[in-house]
Structure 1
Amino acid sequence: MGRGFRSIRSRLFLLFLCCMCSMVILVSLLYYNLTLSIIHTKIKDIAEKNISQTAGLFNLLLEGYNSVTKSLNSNFELARLLQESISNPAVAVMNERMITNIIGAAYYSRNEIEGIHIITNSGKVYSYEKRFAGVIDINYTHTEWYRKLQASSGNMVWLGLYSKSPLNTMQEDTVFVFGRRLYDLTDHKPIGILIIETDPAPIMGALSNASISPNSRVYITGNMNKVIATTDMQKDKGPDFSLLLKPTTEEPIIVEYYTDQLVVAAKTAMADWTIYGLTPMQDISAEIVQTRQYLVIVVLFVVILSTILASIISRNIASPLKLLIREMKKMERGNFNGSVNVKSFEEINMLVSSFNRMVHRMDELIERIKLSSVSEKNAQLHALQSQVNPHFLYNTLDMIYWMLDEKGNERLSHVVLSLSQMFRYSSNWEEASLTTLRQELEQIRHYLTIIENRLLDRVHTNIQVEEHFLDVILPKMTIQPIIENAVKYGLEPLDRPGTLHVYTQFEKGKLYIRIEDNGEGMDDNKLELVNRSLRDFTSMNIGSKEQSLRRSIGLQNVDSRIMLMFGEDYGITVESKQGIGTTVTVAIPAPIAISVKGDE
């Protein structure tokens, strides 16, 4: 698998494109199947309606033809004339003319009748037709149609389409033939047969009504599936009707889809006929093919559009990520000054913003570490510069202490001992720059011993710190500079005794060490200047910071070391009122175990 395929842009492109194409293909298939079902249902309804109308037209047409035959069969005058045996030629001619007139009246009752023939039992033929009257086939008695009429019991016999007249040898036009056996209604005995020939146009017109496409073929079948009439010009290539379903009384109309054609069938009420309509599936599928072509065009268009959209979306998502990766590689090489500026999706914008904040934060942390390191080194340098052969100084101070102790000057010996301990603590930076609150307070007690002796008990100290807070870690030389400032600027100028109160408070995971005095305090302007100088330390340049450290390890130094070590949420705050006193609060993090004890 190539590297390009593993990229987020390539995968987003393929994912979006596959999803879009899958949805389009699925929707297209569903639409195609639904359309196919609708078209089939519509065609089925049309075919069923057409075949039903065709059967109805046949019934009406055959009902009319049946009425003509019934009118002749029920004519008593015609029955009498057909049975009379007259020897007088003149009377015979008159009777024949009367029979012809009766037949002629029936002939003109319907326009499509081509000829009416009556054959009596004696073999006498009476005809009324438009052309070639009286030319009768002498062998008619041997024909099938004659046998059918003779075998009937007075019911209508539908003989079907004939390519020419079955009785008149000179009539060669296609005709539709039907008839019945005539009976004397008085004694119900047969007197002859009636055969009527009609123009097949109404029959063929009714058949064409069952067609639903130009290539549809319609058939009328009778007994033994014999074709009575059809619109198919190639009669020899007709279907095998024995394989097709036949309508029944319960289901008079049948519509079935076969492999290559749609077949619809219906029964006629007047005759025992079945009407079949056969339509090729390719004619039915013409609209389906058109729909399929339309869907193919739509699918291709949507695929092209999806490809363009997938490319645009994948590029919009991948481009910001590429910029982000490029900046991350720069950061790996140690360059923390870069930033990514993009306008993309909200989530990517949030990711880029978080990355920029992280880089900025890391740059700040590195700068703080540098400042912290410089601060500690300078503090160590300052302490070293203030040392003059520390071991010699320690030994000398110890010697002075023992000499004073031998002479009984206990007060001065304590001062010398405290001074010696302070020198040892402040000058020992080799082991670590961190200490505990316990050690810081011990150093403060040494310092206050010297101050109380120097000021002749004008300063009273009260230290209240819980035992479980004494092991909290904090930067070395954190509290002493604050005590020095409180004594020097707050309590020493007083003309009255002063009090210095050191205590701790725990709140929300933070330990607050408060150094409170009742000295002169500060006005609001000076207080604001002090607090602003504490927080402006990080914006100071290195040169000015080094100059400040060379002068003293003051409040700014303490605040900056706490902030660089623990973060911006920790450090020093100062509160003061002119003439009332000053409170300096040191905020440092408390370990979890100590936090639990503090909550208790």
Structure 2
Amino acid sequence: MTVILILVSFLYYTRALAIIHSKISDIAEKNISQTAGLFDLMLEGYNSVTKSLNGNYELTRLLQETSSNPAVSVINERSITNIIGAAFYSRKEIVGIHIITNGGKVYSYEKQFAGVIDINYAQTDWYSKLQASKGNMVWLGLYSGSPINTMQQDTVFVFGRQLYDLMDYKSIGVIVIETDPAPITEALSNVSISPGTRVFITGMDDQLIASKGQQGAGATGFSQLPKPSQDQAIIVDDTSDQLIVAASTALADWTIYGITPKSDFNSEINQTRLYLFVVVLALIIVSTMLASIVSRTIASPLKLLIREMKKVELGNFSGSVNVNSFEEINSLVSSFNRMVQRMDELIKRIKLSSVSEKNAQLQALQSQVNPHFLYNTLDMIYWMLDEKGNERLSRVILSLSQMFRYSSNWEEASQTTLRQELEQIRHYLTIIGSRLNDRVQTEIDVDENWLDVVLPKMTIQPIIENAVKYGLEPLGTPCKLQVHAERHYHQLHIKIIDDGLGMDEATLDQIQANLRKRPSLALEPVSRPRRGIGLHNVHARIGMMFGENYGLSVESRQGEGTTVTIIVPIPIALQGGRRDENSNCG
């Protein structure tokens, strides 16, 4: 038990550790994927601002127009500023928009208008990158202050592109836009999964674009970090002591890194491991104590009981077991002692009665009468009557013989075919016709296609017997009994119709309620006289053979007659041919 407990605990801990690492990796991957998506949406918005300015025909025309008239120049500058201002207010995070023409003119629209333009902007790195671009967006990254307005010292995110005249596609200057870096830093926060997570954005040449989290080890040397390939937007690396996730953006050639020390989420795992160790140790101590108690109070008495059982197996019924243990063990031992004593008494009694019992069995065997003796006797009576010319009585005897053979032969199977059931009915009606002086006119009209349909043995005869006994015989006048079959989809409805007395509503309701109960097929008590196989018995046997969708249904009106419908399935082999919903088979 201790080995199993330790093994299960180890497997549980290993599996739990793997699941935790997998979940953390999935969360980190999902977070960085969402962050990359946010950056793509953000950069797409910024890109659309620069495109709207570059595609403004009026702006490009005014930037290239020169006029000697000071008033016209002032109006042009004001129009340019208004166009830039419209773009400025299109996004709330924009801090400033600057257009620097190739002629050296600077047009700005920003929150702080008292700034001083850096006169050495042409020698700066960011200006060189814009000049070297071919009209594509240049993402310059985070700056501690405005690269153009020397009075602006707040951190800004800077990007821009060359401004072209779309008529002859020549460069007329550059656009520089400065935005609040808060959306970027907030998006980077989404990558963090622990307080020690460091998040970086690197550019094409592995230069740092933006960062969030603790600086120091790992903040440099981005060329050594894994980079997503073109067909792999996100990668996860947890082979070292750090969990590294990386994702690339679609619009900018950026790579977003999230680096989390595994020690940050291993601390909780260590606590779980310590708790599991304490629990396992406590369970080992408890299990050892329980094993000792069980050995003294349960195992020893059971061993004594087993030893005595082996003696009983060898035929020694004189021994007994005496133990003092739990109430259940004491009760088991007492029961064993009583059982052994009882077995000893029964063996002695069996020895005394075995001879007389064998004699009784022999007498019972000798007194049995072979049913074939009755068949042969009925056949002998039939031939004697036939020789004397009593054809009517001979037919009755022959029918009785055939019915007796059919009803008493249950050795082969308890099911039959509709053909054999109808043959049995004809013999029964022969006897009934003689007994009622041919007052009952019978009509059996069943299509030959349905004669091989399977149904339980003795299904139709009990129904006709009830119809004659309770509906037709008390009537005292000529009457009619019909048997015909109808197809309903894959079911065969065998109808037994009489024009006898019928039933009142109370009796009909009681019969229908009994049929709905689906009674179990049970034998009647021996003390009661046998009254034949009733409707509920036939109904139950059909249900047991074919399912609850099959059985009997009864319709009746007092003074008009009764209709009993036997519903059985049509075998697949007989379902070919007609497909009508209700085809008359009679």
TM-score by length of 1: 0.50
2:76 is aligned with 1:85: no
CA distance in 1, matches of 2:223, 2:244: 13
Where do residues 97-116 of structure 1 align in structure 2 (5 Å cutoff)?
Answer: 97-116=78-97
In structure 1, how many angstroms separate the alpha carbons of the residues matched to 2:64 and 2:216? Answer: 43
> Offset of 1:67 from its aligned partner?
0.3
5 Å matches for 1:346-365?
A: none
Aligned residue for 1:243?
224
Aligned partners of 2:77, 2:4: CA distance in 1, in Å? 85
Greater helix percent: which structure? 1
CA distance in 1, matches of 2:216, 2:161: 27
Q: 123, 129, 151: which one pairs with 2:110?
A: 129
Q: Structure 2 CA distance, aligned partners of 1:290 and 1:271?
A: 43
Equivalent residue number for residue 161 of structure 2 = 180
Aligned to 2:237: 256
Check conservation: 1:117, 1:128, Cα contact below 8 A: yes
Where in structure 2 are the equivalents of 1:338-377 lying within 5 Å? 341-343=322-324
Instruction: Provide the C-alpha distance between the structure 2 equivalents of 1:295 and 1:235, rounded to a whole number of angstroms.
Output: 36
How far 1:293 moved relative to its partner? 2.8
Is contact 1:262-1:279 (8 Å) kept? yes
CA distance in 2, matches of 1:37, 1:231: 29
Match of 1:544 in 2: none
- Shift of residue 250, structure 1, vs aligned partner: 1.3
Residue type matched to 1:290 in 2? Q
Aligned to 1:459: none
The answer for the alignment partner of 1:70 in structure 2 is 51
Q: 2:290 aligns with which of 305, 309, 326?
A: 309
Distance 2:140 2:303 in 1: 90
Alignment partner of 1:266 out of 247, 259, 264 = 247
In 1, Cα distance between equivalents of 2:59 and 2:304: 112
Provide the rounded CA distance (Å) in 2 between the counterparts of 1:86 and 1:236. 58
Question: 1:582 corresponds to which residue?
Answer: none
Q: Deviations over 1:431-473 (max 9, x none)?
A: xxxxxxxxxxxxxxxxxxxxxxxxxxxxxxxxxxxxxxxxxxx
Which of 199, 205, 211 is residue 192 of structure 2 equivalent to? 211
Identity of aligned residues (%): 68
Change (3 A) 1:147 1:313: same
Q: Distance in 1 between matches of 2:182 and 2:132?
A: 29
Output the amino acid matched with 1:188.
Answer: Y
- Deviation at residue 310 of structure 1 after TM alignment: 2.0
- Residues in 2 aligned to 1:77 and 1:215: alpha-carbon distance in whole angstroms: 51
**Are residues 144 and 298 of structure 1, via their aligned partners in 2, closer, same or farther at CA, if it must alter by over 3 Å?**
same
- CA apart distance, 1:124: 0.6
Q: Would the aligned equivalents of 2:84 and 2:109 in 1 still touch at CA under 8 Å?
A: yes
- The alpha-carbon distance between structure 1 residues 149 and 211, as it changes in their structure 2 partners (threshold 3 A), is same
Which has the larger displacement, 39-48 or 155-164?
39-48
Amino acid at match of 1:252: A
The amino acid across from 1:36 in the alignment is L
Label 1:244 to 1:145 Cα distance change in 2 as closer, same or farther (>3 A): same
How big is each residue's C-alpha offset from its partner over 1:283-340, in whole Å with a ceiling of 9 and x where there is no partner? 222442232233123212211211211221233368669999xxxxxxxxxxxxxx98
Distance of 1:170 and 1:77 partners within structure 2: 30
Q: In the aligned structure 2, how far is the partner of 1:318 from the partner of 1:179?
A: 87
CA contact (8 A) 1:132 1:168 kept: no
CA–CA separation in structure 1 for the residues paired with 2:60 and 2:304: 113
Per-residue displacement from partner, 1:401-445 (whole Å, max 9, x unpaired)?
Answer: xxxxxxxxxxxxxxxxxxxxxxxxxxxxxxxxxxxxxxxxxxxxx
Q: Secondary structure at the match of 1:111?
A: coil
Q: CA–CA distance in 2 between the matches of 1:99 and 1:236?
A: 48
Specify every segment of 5 or more residues in structure 1 that has no aligned partner in the other structure, as ranges.
1-19, 325-338, 354-600
What letter is aligned with 1:161? L
CA contact (8 A) 1:343 1:349 kept: no
Distance in 2, matches of 1:321 and 1:309, equals: 17
TM-score of the superposed pair, with normalisation by structure 2:
0.51
RMSD of aligned Cα (Å) = 2.8
Q: Deviations over 1:94-118 (max 9, x none)?
A: 1111111111110000000000000
1:223 aligned counterpart, secondary structure: coil
Bigger mean CA deviation after superposition, 196-205 or 31-40: 31-40
Structure 2 counterparts to residues 5-404 of structure 1, below 5 A: 20-234=1-215, 238-316=219-297, 341-343=322-324
Cα distance in 1 between the residues matched to 2:9 and 2:288: 18
Residue 163 of structure 1: how far off its partner (Å): 0.8
- The CA distance in 1 between the partners of 2:302 and 2:41, in whole Å, is 82
**Equivalent position SS for 2:205:** helix
C-alpha distance in 1, partners of 2:131/2:303? Answer: 101
Q: Kindly provide the amino acid, as one letter, of the partner of residue 196 in structure 1.
A: I
1:335-372 deviation per Cα after TM superposition (whole angstroms, max 9, x unaligned): xxxx98424679x989x99xxxxxxxxxxxxxxxxxxx
Give the conservation status (yes or no) of the 8 Å contact 2:321–2:333: no
Highest relative contact order (Cα 8 Å, sep 6+), 1 or 2?
1
Q: Give SS of 2:294's match.
A: helix
In structure 2, what residue type is equivalent to 1:21? Answer: T
Distance 1:209 1:60 in 2: 15
- For 1:227 and 1:255, the matched residues in 2 are separated by 20
- 1:61 aligned partner, one-letter code: M
Cα distance, 1:259 vs structure 2? 2.6
Q: Which runs of 5+ in 2 are unaligned?
A: 306-319, 338-586
Q: 1:349, 1:177 → 2: CA distance?
A: 92
Q: How many residues align?
A: 320
State the distance in 2 between where 1:42 and 1:84 align. Answer: 62
Is this contact kept in 2: 1:127–1:134, CA < 8 A? no
